[in-house]
Amino acid sequence: MNPRREEHEITVGFAGNAKKIKVKVDDRDLRPWDLETKFQTVGTDQARADGVAKVTGRARYAYDINLPGLLHGLIVRAPIAKGTLKALDLEAAKAMPGVKAVLATKQPGARIRFAGDDVAAIAAETLDAARDAAEKVRMEFTAEPHVTDVLEAPGAPKLDQDGEVTAPWPERGAERIETAIQAARHVRSATYRCEVQTHSSLETHGLTARWYGDRLTVWASTQATFGTRAGLAGTLRIPAENITVHTEFMGGGFGSKFQPGIEGVLACRLAKAADAPVKLMLSRHEEHTCAGNRPGAIIQIRAGVNDDGKITAFDYRCWGEPGFTGQGGGTRAPSDYFRDTARRDTQDNVATDMDAGRAMRAPGWPQGFFATELMLDELAAAIGMDPLEFRLKNDRNEVRLAEWRQGAEAFRWAERRNKTPGQPRAGGDPRWLHGCGLSSAAWGGMGGPGARVTCRIHADARVEVRNGAQDLGTGLKTVLQMLAAEELGIPVAMVTPFVGDTRDPVGPASGGSVTTPTMAPAVRHAAALARRELAARVAAKLGVDAAKVACAGGQVTVEGGQTLSFVDACKLLGSDTVEVVGERFPNHQGYANSVAGCQFAEVRVDRHTGLVQVLDMLAVQDCGTVVARKQAESQTLGAMIQGVSYALHEQRIVDHLTGRMVNGDFLYYKLTGPLDMPAMRAILFPVANGHTNVGAAGIGEPVAVAPAAAIANAVFNAIGVPVRHLPLTPDKILKALARARRV
């Protein structure tokens, strides 16, 4: 059955570039908010709904769940990186004091795919008792030669002493790109590398499981409560309706927590076997080594450009490093520069005997943008053009073209850019080289249909909004609260949001930056239904025609009669709570299906020690309708911080003899800290895209795409030579400076 649709004319785009379009909207849905909408609450700064609970420690995360009789689980893992499990004897472990359950996860003959692959699981009264028992598990393996260094792996390209790929370009699709390369006035070719980054979620993976007969409740650190429920139902072969997943709070996922994971499944199995609740959370080393990562990449680019700065050819190939699966290491170059450019994109994966890569905040994009944006700056330098001018010449995204201009002015790009790369500032400390760089950002993140939100209005005028999806930490609770308050015309404080309980209506997995754009239209719809229902109830109580009563702007008005405040209207409800369920209708064609952004960075480089310090960063980012401004800005700054860390510090370091990560901690797996952080500004660029009744777009990922690229370009501007291998640690900077002196 096709839904009935109503046509609305709305104003979309952005200030200075507004357009009227007609959208066909499901007639149960609301007229989309647009550029002309005047908001009361939406777009304002509101304190995070659960901020006090978080900073006072009252928020209970999966890690904090302690139940009477709780057992502690752990996973016994293979020390070899590749081979076969030959023998497994769990008897001695079972006999250890305090041990309540021991399970084999692999049978003799099973393959070991990386150092840390699971072999058995133990639940005991204390974690130490479980560790004691783990030491008694007798495992024998038939080890095979492993490869954990990507450059040594089959299928990896050979690199010369300067790190450049030596292999010829592929044959496939060569004709058009070769012609374009031949025809280009200037051609550059270079190889870029990114090391493996781990998600480094502060809360490690895992959950606490408790059985009530054949019913199961888990408290999970997950970014997909419903995905976790489905995953457990499928693996444990019990009905999904028997499972409740709680994630009222969670301590970071960044793409690594969509499934219950082996750790979650084992917690449930151990709890069943021991007939007691079990908590199984990974250790920090396991978190780094067994819970996914952002794959490393070797990216080779050759590109052609004309004297006027037009990019005419762009040939991109990538060897991703996704671990033992050999899949999912693809990277993504920006596309807005190349809409009318001869282009080829070749993606290969190089398998290593390491943990598998997983989605991580804009999977594959930061790597591809780093390589491409640095190549663009190298091209711009080759033809003597300013990098900003070069972007303006080639970028075909009208939102970003406006953002480039706004950002360049706010950042004072022209003034701050180092006009003599490699040289210190006139009159400044000759030791420090300053430079500025920029990068584009992009993503989709428009959300989709399927989510539902319950809205209740009680007689005390408290409004409850509920959805079973999780707040990944981005501020979803605040988003729900603010949108309900906006639609009802009441103060934010009167709305209480509840998330992270699968007994409430369905919501999305928090991946692809879809949570807010998916949930926002549903909560607005729910609040609108609640508003109408409240009016109908008031009409019944007052004995007037329902058509004559309206609830809007925090008041209930009877046509030709009295006006009740929202509070007084609610009093009439008595015990008859209003309860409605709002829906998320499919997106309709609005203004844009993607978001655009750009970032600017200033660095200084100590030419003596090779230290790079990021001094200042600016992000200009479109995320459609800005709902919760503070939280959106916070997301933006958070992604920039993570990007600084990726650009300068983070790398997985592996002992290739054993295949074990040596820096699986936070001492030598270096995360950026307060003293390393630049001054940061986030400018949210308002765009009305009209694709839903709210028009929100995701912001978690687009901002994460650009920082490493902007910082690498700033380093290039500072020292005069590109450093094409992340992270930009002092050893690499000094090597580049030494090479520059030789040239």
**What is the binding site for other proteins (CB under 8 A)?**
79, 128, 131-132, 606, 608-611, 613, 648-649, 653-658, 660, 662-663, 667-668, 670, 672-676, 729-731, 734-735
Q: Cβ-count burial of 648 within 10 angstroms (0-12 exposed, 13-18 middle, 19+ buried)?
A: buried
Give the pairing type, strands 186-194 and 296-305: antiparallel
Q: Which is nearer to other proteins, 180 or 711 (CB)?
A: 711
> Please, what is the minimum distance in Å from the beta carbon of residue 701 to other proteins?
25
Q: Which is nearer to other proteins, 94 or 735 (CB)?
A: 735
> Please, what is the minimum distance in Å from the beta carbon of residue 718 to other proteins?
17
- Integer Cα distance of 436 and 424 in angstroms: 13
Of 42, 19, 109, which Cα lies nearest the Cα of 696? 42
Reduced to 3 states, what is the DSSP secondary structure of residue 552? strand
Q: Which is nearer to other proteins, 52 or 95 (CB)?
A: 95
**Cβ(481)–Cβ(465) under 8 Å?**
yes
The two three-digit tokens of residue 699, written as one number: 């912001």
Q: Which is nearer to other proteins, 66 or 126 (CB)?
A: 126
Q: Which is nearer to other proteins, 405 or 735 (CB)?
A: 735
Q: Which is nearer to other proteins, 229 or 649 (CB)?
A: 649
> Please, what is the minimum distance in Å from the beta carbon of residue 131 to other proteins?
7
Radius of gyration of the chain (CA): 28
Q: Which is nearer to other proteins, 457 or 711 (CB)?
A: 711
Q: What are phi and psi of 564, to 5 degrees?
A: -105, 145
Q: Which is nearer to other proteins, 186 or 608 (CB)?
A: 608
> Please, what is the minimum distance in Å from the beta carbon of residue 192 to other proteins?
20
Task: Indicate the Cα dihedral angle 415, 419, 422, 425, nearest 10°.
Answer: -50
- Integer Cα distance of 348 and 564 in angstroms: 66
- Integer Cα distance of 620 and 734 in angstroms: 32
> Please, what is the minimum distance in Å from the beta carbon of residue 708 to other proteins?
15
**Cβ(70)–Cβ(117) under 8 Å?**
no
Q: Which is nearer to other proteins, 555 or 613 (CB)?
A: 613
Of 61, 76, 396, which Cα lies nearest the Cα of 205? 61
Q: Which is nearer to other proteins, 177 or 617 (CB)?
A: 617
> Please, what is the minimum distance in Å from the beta carbon of residue 735 to other proteins?
8
Q: Which is nearer to other proteins, 134 or 224 (CB)?
A: 134
List Cα–Cα distances, 715 to 418, 458, 613, 677, in angstroms: 10, 58, 10, 16
Q: Which is nearer to other proteins, 216 or 612 (CB)?
A: 612
> Please, what is the minimum distance in Å from the beta carbon of residue 654 to other proteins?
7
Q: Is the dihedral of CA 537, 540, 543, 544 positive or negative?
A: positive
Q: Point out which residues pair with 579 in neighbouring strands.
A: 456
> Please, what is the minimum distance in Å from the beta carbon of residue 638 to other proteins?
16
DSSP symbols for 556-569: EEETTS-EEEHHHH
Q: Is the dihedral of CA 367, 368, 371, 376 positive or negative?
A: negative
**Cβ(114)–Cβ(141) under 8 Å?**
no
The answer for 565, left when phi > 0, alpha when psi is -120 to 50, beta otherwise, is beta
> Please, what is the minimum distance in Å from the beta carbon of residue 551 to other proteins?
52
Q: Which is nearer to other proteins, 98 or 444 (CB)?
A: 98
Give the pairing type, strands 463-466 and 595-606: unpaired
> Please, what is the minimum distance in Å from the beta carbon of residue 624 to other proteins?
35
The two three-digit tokens of residue 21, written as one number: 């379009």
> Please, what is the minimum distance in Å from the beta carbon of residue 682 to other proteins?
22
> Please, what is the minimum distance in Å from the beta carbon of residue 249 to other proteins?
23
> Please, what is the minimum distance in Å from the beta carbon of residue 671 to other proteins?
8
The whole-angstrom distance between residue 644's C-alpha and the CA centroid of its chain comes to 15
Q: Which is nearer to other proteins, 375 or 736 (CB)?
A: 736
The two three-digit tokens of residue 343, written as one number: 């282009």
**Cβ(308)–Cβ(384) under 8 Å?**
no
Q: Residue 384: which residues within 8 A CB-CB, separation 6 or more?
A: none
- Integer Cα distance of 28 and 5 in angstroms: 8
> Please, what is the minimum distance in Å from the beta carbon of residue 191 to other proteins?
20
The two three-digit tokens of residue 372, written as one number: 């491409």
The angle at the Cα of 249, spanning 244 to 251, to the nearest 5 degrees, equals 120
- Integer Cα distance of 24 and 123 in angstroms: 56
**Cβ(484)–Cβ(434) under 8 Å?**
no
